[in-house]
Amino acid sequence: MASSTSRFKYVPGRAVLLLATALASWVICAVYSVYFNPEVVHYHQGDAIKRAWAAQMTREHGSKTIIYGGSSCEFSVDGERLLANYGEPVVNDGGHAGMGAVVLTESALGDLRRGDTLIIALEPFLMTAPFDGEPSLGVQFSVALHHPEWVLHPVVGVGDINSFQAAMALRPGGFHVFTLFGKFILGQPLYRYKLSDYHRSGWKQTAVRVPQTAGAGFGPHLSTGARIMLTNLSQWSRTNGVRLAYSLPWCYCPPDELRDVRHKNAEYLAEIMAFVPVLRDPTLGADTVATDFADAALHPDEAGAARRTDELGRELKQWDIWTRTELDRAIADSLDTR
């Protein structure tokens, strides 16, 4: 009769098997997330387009402007139009807001050279939400581009995670897996955007149209993480000889909400101004023409992007910056007419 202790000699073997199975599963998930996830692949390919344009602008013009943010930036700024009409060499380094403010910022810094200009166009909802670690998409994108330091040791000094947390973020979530299988079974594209949606300067457009009825909301104040990031980014720009400013993205705004939205945006910019200069856009980011947008309230269509690009071109050409007096007046005016 086998002793009760003899059974335990098999436990280490089973534990090793379970560990090996878990490790193999993680490796498969990580390889998929970094090399085959349609979303990551799309933005990896888009990044190559943006880097090529940035290198061309540096080579041909010496100094350039990089504007970055989430998809609102990517859909809004036509670099070729800015170069042709305003003589401004601009790289659209917008990405997916789901990557998080830190990764979007870190990815923009690598192509900057002394004498360049960096325009922050991060969406307000990214700047008012807590910086709680790094989103999985941001980690996966960073690793796919061979820049894990963007999440492990970010220049902006906030949002960093440890190696174990980064490794766990390389797993696709259940929602992603079920959505992907659903699209595969129904014969739908695995990702809503195509490589051909990109233009040479990094500007993106889509043929998809979704009627817009509501704008994009955001919290009342800058988060602690955003304040730390802006402080460190301002210091980094001074040290590296890079001119820095913030540009408020354009968003669809129902006409009856225009005054309230502009008031809220002006108050938000007043907080941003405490850290970096803010480009003076008279619209205060509110566009009441629903047909100016494509598939989301922050995604201008071609005509909307042309208007946004032209306004940005004017601001860059004149380096038109809000003064605190002007912004306070805009806040007071919106209060008087509410």
The DSSP secondary structure of 98-111, one letter per residue, reads: GG-HHHHHHHHHTT
Is 4 a member of any domain?
no
pLDDT-above-90 percentage for the chain: 79
Is 118 a member of any domain?
yes
**How many folded domains does the chain comprise?**
1
Contacts of 125 (CB under 8 A, 6+ apart): 97, 216, 217, 218, 219
Is 238 a member of any domain?
yes
List pLDDT tens digits, range 100-117: 999 999 999 999 999 999
Is 329 a member of any domain?
yes
Is 141 a member of any domain?
yes
Judge contact between 308 and 77, C-beta under 8 A. Answer: yes
Is 279 a member of any domain?
yes
Torsion of CA 86, 87, 88, 92, to 10 degrees: 80
pLDDT confidence of residue 1:
46
Q: Which of 277, 272, 270, 202 is nearest to 237 (CA)?
A: 277
Which domain range does residue 319 map to? Answer: 12-336
Query: 208 in helix, strand or coil?
Result: coil
Is 151 a member of any domain?
yes
Measured over the CA atoms of residue 182, residue 184, residue 186 and residue 190, the dihedral's sign is positive
User: Which of the four pLDDT bands, split at 50, 70 and 90, describes residue 212?
Assistant: very high
User: Which of the four pLDDT bands, split at 50, 70 and 90, describes residue 79?
Assistant: very high
List pLDDT tens digits, range 138-188: 999 999 999 999 999 999 999 889 999 999 999 988 788 778 878 878 888
Is 1 a member of any domain?
no
C-alpha gyration radius of the chain: 23
238-249 core/surface letters (b: 16 or more CB in 10 A; e: else) = eebebebbbbbb
Q: What percent helix, strand, coil does the chain show, rounded to 5?
A: 55, 10, 35
